[in-house]
Amino acid sequence: MYIPDDKLEEVRAASDIVDVVSDYVKLKKRGSNYFGLCPFHNEKTPSFSVNPSMGIFKCFGCHEGGDVFSFISKIENIGFTETVRLLAERAGIPLPVDEAQREQSSEVESIYHALRFAARFFYKQLTQTDAGQPALEYLKGRGFTATTIKRFGLGYAPDRWDALLNAAEEEHVTPETLEKAGLVLPRKNSDGYYDRFRGRVIFPIFSHVGKVLGFGGRILSGDSDQPKYINSPETKVYSKSRVLYGLYQGKQAIRQAEEVLLVEGYTDVIALHQAGVENVVASSGTALTEKQIKVLNRYAKRILLLYDADNAGMTAAVRGIDLVLAHGLAPYAVSLPAGEDPDSYVQTHGGEAFEAMLDEERQDFVTFLHAQAERQGLLDTPEDSSEAQRSVLETIASIPEERALDRDAYLRHASEVFGVYESDLRREFEQIVRQQQQKNRARRRRSQAQQAASASSGDPRPASARSGPSQEADAAPADQDPEPVEPLPEEKMLLRLMLEHGTRLVEAVLGHMALDEFTEGPSRRIVEHLIEMYQEDAVDKQPFLDGTLGSEIQRLATEVMVDRYAPSENWSSRQNITVPRMNDDPYEAAASAMTLLKLDRVNEAIERQRERLYQATRHDDSDLTELQTEMMELHELRKHIEQRAFLTWDVA
């Protein structure tokens, strides 16, 4: 689908990169930039930077970088057109629709389109048709207002085998695409398809940025032999283990409260939102997963687990605690009154009473686990009490080692709750930690042994397909291009100055630097493009940052535009090289960087000439005199550079 340039710029201007990235990464401001853990690779120390003034991001660990479009495209694994559509929908900007061009869109984009169409279809059936009236009355009977129904996009699937199929055909959405989106099923005994959702109230499942991923459906007929709820299957865009129902509607409230409530069902989330308790999500019918916790970690510091008083509810709460702790969040638990769920409680007592109940009944995980052990009679004997204490200590040990203060606080609290000496608990805790470390070391050794066995057996599979961590070859295969040489820091500074200040610095730098003084690869290609733009009087940094000129150029351009490569104070130790002041005097900064880059290049040439002289001396070469003369010329050139004689403008 063609999107006009003015629309692209409108979407870009409306998509603040800090806001967009914050939907995926927990950012902290440091100076003029924001930093967080990179979403594209595993790391413990934040190396992911967002520059709001430039509208770019850069990871100094995995080297991913670009603008807001490339960030969404990379993290959502979607094409450019769908990326623009996602950001446009987020900003409320309408885009042109061309049915003929839509048919040429990628498979993932076509699935998203089918899901959007289905959500609109179900909503219209609920709110604008006679067939949807029973479903609408059911929702109103649950206390849901028209505003709430619209906010969550609730709908109705007609009790027919082909209602969605026929409507989709009119909109040129193929049955094959509907099947890939999980909306229809193939008939077993004949050709064709039939609707998956029939005669059900529909609950759209949104991503955290508002894209429809799937649906849940509740049966309306009480005497049906069908399951009460059915859900969309896993698809190319929907993974249940990653998705949290209500996160899209509640993420701002979660950020503000720094706390998220985890409930069980769709109607629990909706009822709480309507009552004013918006920092709430549901785990979409699955047990809380590690991937879901990682998502919540972007928004909250605490997770409040609401569970039913029955054994199944308590077991689910206990199982989630270790996972929550392992990812640096603080888990709390609240047991609902017998016979109540969040929906029924808030409908009866209201939102304020619900929040008051949470404040009064919440328990930290040590108190909660102690209470469960006491309730189950596991503190009645010394040996049972000892086992309960050990279980709590194992849970405390799941807290990451770098959060040592949290571990200490919970150990002190456990001593108070169980009424035992803290020193006794600490001795046992240290033993548990040592045992865990031994198990981890043994696991790593087994993994390394498996890798070694695979390598020695000539396993033809790539390292990434073997068990254990992937390994990279020491050298690139002969049919692949070698890794590009990393540009020098001063070279990166010159690129930044030219990109940031445009024509005047391009003229100043490239009037004194030769193209081959820039490192071959993306750095030199950036300079070549700048020369072309300068000749056309159209120097513009945007094509370098938005990927127009290729991904390698985009990665390097975004890298140099952030402050990671600010000039080092060590530059002042080099003769006649003052520390550049980019903001105060870009020309002085350019002069210093050019001086250092030229010195590095001439020193490289001197080293090469020294090797030639050495070889000529060994072989009694007749060209020795000529080589010595060239060496003297290189040393003279170095003095010339040190004195900045190559410059044609005066700098302080």
In 3D, which of 78, 303, 118 has the Cα closest to residue 209? 78
Rounded average pLDDT over 558-563? 80
Query: Cβ(556)–Cβ(64) under 8 Å?
Result: no
- Rounded Cα–Cα distance for residues 27 and 47 (Å): 11
| Residue 465 covered by a domain | no
In 3D, which of 199, 64, 209 has the Cα closest to residue 134? 199
Write out the H or E segment, with its range, that includes residue 462.
Answer: none
| Residue 85 covered by a domain | yes
564 falls in which pLDDT band (50, 70, 90)? low
Could you give the percent of the chain with pLDDT greater than 90?
42
Write out the H or E segment, with its range, that includes residue 322.
Answer: helix 311-326
**Structure tokens of 293?**
């916790």
Same structural domain, 339 and 395:
no
Residue 347's Cβ-side half-sphere holds a number of Cα atoms within 13 Å equal to 16
Select from 202, 229, 256 the last residue of a domain.
229
Determine the pLDDT at residue 459.
47
CATH for 288 = 3.40.1360.10
**Structure tokens of 43?**
């790391």
DSSP letter at 244? -
In 3D, which of 599, 600, 601, 606 has the Cα closest to residue 632? 606
Residue 533: is its pLDDT beyond 50? yes
Residue 463: is its pLDDT beyond 60? no
Q: What residues contact residue 159 under an 8 Å CB cut-off, 6+ apart?
A: 131, 198, 199
Same structural domain, 126 and 264:
no
Across 439-448, 478-487, 512-521, 525-534, least confident range? 478-487
Residue 575: is its pLDDT beyond 70? no
- Rounded Cα–Cα distance for residues 86 and 112 (Å): 10
Quote the number of domains for the chain.
5
Same structural domain, 566 and 590:
yes
Select from 229, 252, 282 the last residue of a domain.
229
DSSP letter at 565? G
Same structural domain, 333 and 243:
yes
Determine the pLDDT at residue 406.
92
Same structural domain, 117 and 43:
no
Residue 181: CB atoms within 10 Å: 30
Determine the pLDDT at residue 309.
61
Residue 558: is its pLDDT beyond 50? yes
CATH for 19 = 3.90.580.10
Per residue in 252-274, pLDDT (tens digit) is 899 889 999 999 889 999 999 99
Residue 600: is its pLDDT beyond 70? yes
Same structural domain, 248 and 349:
yes
The mean pLDDT of the chain is 84
Determine the pLDDT at residue 649.
61
Greater pLDDT, 621 or 651: 621
**Structure tokens of 45?**
């120390």
Strand partners, 157: 200
DSSP string computed for 180-230: HTTSEEE-SSSSSEEES--SEEEEEEE-TTS-EEEEEEEE--TT-SS-SEE
| Residue 462 covered by a domain | no
Determine the pLDDT at residue 460.
42
| Residue 440 covered by a domain | no
Determine the pLDDT at residue 484.
60
- Rounded Cα–Cα distance for residues 544 and 66 (Å): 9
Determine the pLDDT at residue 183.
97
Rounded average pLDDT over 517-540? 89
Greater pLDDT, 579 or 182: 182
Beta strands 200-206 and 193-195 are unpaired
Rounded average pLDDT over 86-95? 84
| Residue 139 covered by a domain | yes
The CA distances from residue 356 to 184, 351, 598, in Å, are: 44, 9, 69
Q: What angle is formed at CA 142 by the lines to CA 138 and CA 148, rounded to 5 degrees?
A: 95
**Structure tokens of 265?**
């069902």
Same structural domain, 205 and 267:
no
DSSP string computed for 119-163: HHHHHHHHHH-STTHHHHHHHHHTT--HHHHHHTT-EEE-SSSSH
DSSP letter at 648? S
570 falls in which pLDDT band (50, 70, 90)? low
47 falls in which pLDDT band (50, 70, 90)? confident
Determine the pLDDT at residue 98.
57
Determine the pLDDT at residue 473.
33
CATH for 637 = 1.10.860
Domain that holds residue 527: 489-642
- Rounded Cα–Cα distance for residues 521 and 556 (Å): 10
Per residue in 321-361, pLDDT (tens digit) is 988 998 889 999 998 888 888 999 999 999 999 999 999 99
Side-by-side strand order, sheet with 155-157: 155-157, 200-206, 212-219, 229-231
Query: Cβ(351)–Cβ(279) under 8 Å?
Result: no
**Structure tokens of 64?**
């991913």
Residue 375: CB atoms within 10 Å: 12
Could you give the percent of the chain with pLDDT greater than 70?
87
Select from 312, 340, 361 the last residue of a domain.
361
Query: Cβ(551)–Cβ(581) under 8 Å?
Result: no
Q: Which amino acid is at 417?
A: V
Per residue in 398-454, pLDDT (tens digit) is 998 888 899 999 999 999 999 999 999 999 999 999 988 888 788 777 777 776 665
Write out the H or E segment, with its range, that includes residue 242.
Answer: none
- The end-to-end CA distance of the chain, in Å, is 54
